[in-house]
Amino acid sequence: MTGRNGWLEYYGEHEISPVRQDLSDINLHFAKREKLYRQLGLPGIAFEGKKILEVGPGSGYNTLAFFFFGGG
């Protein structure tokens, strides 16, 4: 790998994730994801019984919603 990535170095140095979500209300998180997916033309039912490879998931917040919608 060549070069440096200042953003990644900053996140690692300060032990933070730029995509952190508040999961204190998990149902609210799922509702937000459902709204996002619907706006993208993907209703929750589209995930039922499907397998999805999430590349670079970071903390896996979208994966939680995927399983909630019936993916596996």
User: Along the 72 residues of the chain, how does pLDDT read in single tens digits?
Assistant: 456 767 778 877 887 766 767 889 999 999 998 999 899 998 888 888 888 887 766 778 888 888 888 887
State the pLDDT at residue 44.
83
Helix axes 61-68, 26-39, angle to 10 degrees: 80
pTM of the model: 0.64
Cα torsion through 65, 56, 40, 18, rounded to 10: 80
Q: Helices (DSSP H) in the chain: which residue ranges?
A: 6-14, 26-39, 61-68
State the pLDDT at residue 3.
60
Cβ count near 53 (within 10 Å): 5
Q: Are 71 and 51 in contact (CB under 8 A)?
A: yes
State the pLDDT at residue 2.
53
